[in-house]
Amino acid sequence: MTRAVIIGGSGHVGTYLVPRLVHAGYQVINVSRRRRAPYQPHGAWQQVEQVTIDRTAAESAGTFGEQIA
């Protein structure tokens, strides 16, 4: 299964993109600063792996890539 990592997937564009990727057969990982509900609820979100991370701090520490891998 192909994996798609979406940074900010629970934002406006991601709310529409993520369910489409799930239905297309992708394993989706949403990387976000905080957990929040997507603008448009969709059952596909139950299949999405949620990763909460401060990207700026993780990049400064050199750990961003390993935290989303």
Per-residue confidence of the chain (69 residues) as pLDDT tens digits? 899 999 888 888 888 999 999 999 999 999 988 877 777 788 999 999 999 888 888 888 988 888 877
Look up the CATH number of the domain holding residue 51.
3.40.50.720
Q: Give the chain's domain count.
A: 1
User: Please, what is the end-to-end C-alpha distance for the chain in angstroms?
Assistant: 15
Q: What is the pLDDT of residue 58?
A: 84
Q: Which residues contact 45 (CB under 8 A, 6 or more apart)?
A: 18, 19, 38
Q: What is the pLDDT of residue 30?
A: 92
In whole angstroms, how far apart are CA 20 and each of 1, 45, 55, 66? 15, 10, 25, 26
Judge if pTM exceeds 0.85: no
Q: Which amino acid is at 61?
A: A
Q: What is the pLDDT of residue 23?
A: 97
In whole angstroms, how far apart are CA 38 and each of 6, 26, 61? 13, 18, 29
Structural domain that includes position 45: 3-68
